[in-house]
Amino acid sequence: MKIQFLGAAGEVTGSRHSVEAIVGGRDIRFMVDFGMFQGGREATAKNLEPLPFPPKAIDFVILTHAHIDHSGLLPRLCAQGFVGPIYCTEATFELLKILLPDSAHLQRSDVERAVRRQKAGKWRGDLPVALYSMEEAELALAQCEVLSYGKHLELCKGVELEFQNAGHILGSAIAVIDIAEDESKVKRCVFSGDIGMKGKLLMPDPALISQADVVVIESTYGDRLHKTLAETESELIDVVTNTMNAHGNIVIPAFAVGRTQEILFLLIDLVKRNLLPHLSIWVDSPMATAATHLTQHFFSQLDKESQSTFEWFKNNPSAVDLRFIADVEESKALNKIKGGAIIISASGMCDAGRIVHHLQNNLPRAQNAIVITGFQAYGSLGRRLVDKATKVRLFGEEVQVRASIHTIGGLSAHADQAGLLDWLRGFRSAPKSVFVVHGEPEASAVLAQAIREELEWKNVVIPERLHSYSC
């Protein structure tokens, strides 16, 4: 069996891993995830790269969750000739119905806007590229097949799949894949997907897997520990209180799926506990609005504390003035608000969508605050803000950064180093091979060394992109 790492190797985005095996005398090839690279020009070039094998040679795709860095190039793959099934959980499929068409729409809008600005002489540099169309997104959705947590499905003769809850976002899964390379022995491969934090807002703890021959584990925060929830709450209370007292706005770039719902829960919960006063919150992302409604649909999959808080808000709707923005005109109207607003908008790394307009309007004013709550990839606008840029280019124009920038890391949907090691301790014995992916080089290196030292597992590899490894 061979695994080729086509993305999320030496970086966080672009998760896509190819698995080759000979089962029952027949060659099979499948993918685990097929995500989009995010963050700057290099990401665009990687998204446009052809696969090292024909898409039609792929038998099926196993999708761990809906985030675009894991799912975002599925429409392009299908448009280029992949015709097999895409296996995912029910909630992931419902989220894909929101995310993939939205991704196609954003790409088309970015191209159209850039062309208009170029014609007006206001655009410098290369034009953005649309990776796929709305029709191609629908094509990918038509190839999805749903598998519930804990159920076993034979994908082809000699290959069986089970999903376990990864506790990362709604529908996120750990993929447990049993491959019978010969009739006498089954090789188990476990792909972590993205592992959530224990005790995390909204989501249950990630499931533990007891046995594996091969483990592919994420390392987004493999080199650090997160702040506690109490510390996170204290930081958020300070930012909200100080900004509201200064009559400013708070702009929160947030991933539409998962992070937006967590922030809403936390703000509502802080009001419920009388730690914050009445708040005016606008969620300006059609995708986040749809994802929030979907979260309500899968209410039983949330943890008990979150269910209790949302029930309280249902019974006390006036405690928080919560509004979901429906159209572009309403979104533009938010730019007239000069103070007292909390605006939550996508994208989470600030590179596209309505958040860019809100940053353009709010960054120049010192009384405002920008709250960064999620991972920001190298090359992204969010990363430049975190790295204390004094000005940024938005829509071809220089914008001064006078608003205060706050990074609140305790809301991460990813486990920190301690959480990842705890999850790995769930295996009763050391896997034969462990591959550390989905992390920037330092994070992956630190986690790999911690696995070797603390767990005393020997064969721990940080794979290189496009390289194949025998297992």
Fold match between 2-224+413-470 and 229-411? no
For residue 393, the SS3 value is: strand
Average confidence (pLDDT) over 268-289: 92
Distance of CA 19 to the CA centre of its chain: 22
Q: Which two tokens stand for residue 194?
A: 């993205």
Q: Which helix (H) or strand (E) holds 90?
A: helix 90-119
Confidence of residue 374 (pLDDT cuts 50, 70, 90): confident
Q: Report the pLDDT value the prediction gives residue 110, as an integer from 0 to 100.
A: 86
According to the model, what pLDDT value does residue 80 have?
Answer: 97
pLDDT tens-digit map of 216-262: 999 999 999 998 888 999 999 999 999 999 999 999 998 878 888 88
* Distance separating alpha carbons of residues 356 and 36, to the nearest angstrom: 20
Nearest to 309 by CA among 198, 169, 202, 168: 202
d(CA 265, CA 157): 44
Mean pLDDT, to the nearest integer, of 140-166? Answer: 97
Q: Which residues lie closer than 8 Å to 112 by C-beta, 6 or more apart?
A: none
Q: Which two tokens stand for residue 408?
A: 């609140």
pTM comes to 0.87
DSSP 353: S
Segment 176-231, tens digit of pLDDT? 999 998 777 899 999 999 999 988 888 989 999 999 999 999 999 999 999 888 89
pLDDT digits (tens, 9 = 90+) for 393-425: 988 889 999 999 999 878 888 999 999 999 999
What pLDDT is attached to residue 424?
Answer: 98
The domain ranges of the chain are 2-224+413-470, 229-411
Contacts of 233 (CB under 8 A, 6+ apart): 266, 270, 275
Read off the DSSP letter of residue 318: G
Long-range contacts of 228-232 (CB under 8 A, 24+ apart): 228/410, 229/199, 229/201, 229/410, 231/410, 232/266, 232/408, 232/409, 232/410, 232/411
Indicate whether 137 pLDDT > 90.
yes
pLDDT, one tens digit per residue, over 69-100 is 999 999 999 999 999 999 999 999 999 999 99
| Sheet strand arrangement including 214-218 | 152-156, 159-165, 173-182, 185-191, 214-218, 433-437, 460-461
DSSP code at position 455: I
What does 354-376 look like in DSSP terms, one character per residue?
HHHHHHHHHTT-TT-EEEE-S--
The two most distant CA atoms of the chain are separated, in Å, by: 70
Write out the two tokens for 283: 């969620």
| CATH class of this structure's domain 229-411 | alpha beta
Q: Is the pLDDT of residue 375 over 80?
A: no
Average pLDDT over residues 430-435: 98
For domain 2-224+413-470, the CATH class is alpha beta
Chain segment 246-259, per-residue pLDDT in tens: 999 999 998 878 88
Is the confidence at residue 109, as pLDDT, over 80? yes
pLDDT-based confidence at 65, cuts 50/70/90?
A: very high
Q: pLDDT at position 351, please?
A: 80
- Strand positions, DSSP E, 273-368: 279-284, 320-324, 342-345
> Which pLDDT belongs to residue 183?
72
pLDDT (tens digit per residue) in 280-328? 999 998 878 888 888 888 888 888 888 888 899 999 999 999 999 988 8
Confidence of residue 12 (pLDDT cuts 50, 70, 90): very high
Q: Which of 427, 434, 221, 237 has its CA nearest to residue 342?
A: 237
State the pLDDT at residue 346.
83
**What tokens does 89 get?**
């959980």
Distance separating alpha carbons of residues 80 and 3, to the nearest angstrom: 22
Least confident of 83-92, 324-333, 361-370, 442-451: 324-333
Q: Does the pLDDT of residue 40 top 90, yes or no?
A: no
> 350 or 13: whose pLDDT is higher?
13
Distance of alpha carbon 218 from alpha carbon 414, whole angstroms: 9
What token pair was written down for 187? 């090789």
Burial of 196 (0-12, 13-18, 19+ CB in 10 A): buried
Cβ-contact 32, 62 below 8 angstroms:
yes
Residues with Cβ within 8 Å of 113's Cβ and at least 6 positions away in sequence, in order, are 395
